[in-house]
Amino acid sequence: MKGNTKGLLAIFTVILLVASYIMYNSSSKVKNESAVSLFVDGIVVDADKGEPLKGVSVAIRGHNPATITSDDGKFRVKALLSDELLFKKDGFLPRIIRASDVEKVVLTPAAKEDNAME
């Protein structure tokens, strides 16, 4: 009986160590996913006309410098998945979008929002 107890204890210890290792690695992977840096590509369009907007400032919220959209409304910025991007252009309402959710950004003209409030 003593021999079986030692064997069971050894098996239990190995299982416990393996389970601990798996839990540790899976939790550290989740923490590191938001620290993955990537290039975010997208396009910014006018909500009314559906046309690309050039000259839109695209910045990581709270950081400088910003990049500016090209003539065809496209941009590319290096960001973390957890970063929030701030899109600003005179005459339009600013937008904040999480980097992981950016593909097509639609900006609403500021005048349209002002008229809706009157």
Give yes or no for a contact between 50 and 108, defined as CB atoms under 8 angstroms apart. Answer: no
The model's pLDDT over 61-74, given as tens digits with 9 standing for 90+, comes to 988 888 999 999 99
pLDDT at 111: 77
The model's pLDDT over 72-103, given as tens digits with 9 standing for 90+, comes to 999 999 999 889 999 999 999 999 999 988 88
Class of domain 37-117: mainly beta
The model's pLDDT over 37-61, given as tens digits with 9 standing for 90+, comes to 889 999 999 999 999 999 999 999 9
- For the whole model, what pTM was predicted? 0.65
Give yes or no for a contact between 92 and 109, defined as CB atoms under 8 angstroms apart. Answer: yes
Residue 108 has pLDDT above 50, yes or no: yes
